[in-house]
Chains A and B, each alone.
Chain A
Amino acid sequence: MIIRPRHIHHCAVVLAVLTMGCEGATRPSSFVIPGPSVPSPLPTAAPYVWDTRDELAIWVENPVALGSLALEGNGPDGFIRIAQAEREWTLRGPDLTPSATGVRTLLLRYRWRPDPALSPAASRTLRATAYFQTTAPLQPYYFGQGAASADLEPRDDWTDITLVPGQFTPPIDVSYCYLHSFGANRGVLEIDRIELVR
Chain B
Amino acid sequence: MDVIKFAIRKLIGGIPLILGVTFISFILMVYFGPDMTFEMLGKNPTPEQIAEVRTELGYDRPFLTRYTEYLRELATLDFGLSDSSGEPVSDMLLRSIPISIALVTPGFILGNLLGVLLALVAAYHRSGWIDKAIMGFSVVGMSISFLIVIIAFQILLSSSYGLNLFPVRGWNVHSFYDYVMYVTVPTLAAVFVALGYNTRFYRAVIVEEMTRDHVRTARAFGIGPRKLLYKHILKNAAIPIITRIMFSIPLVIVSGSLLIESYFGIPGVGKVTFDAITSGDQPVLKAVVGLTAVLFVITLLVTDILYRAVDPRVSLK
Partners in one complex: no
Contacts from A to B (Cβ < 8 Å): none
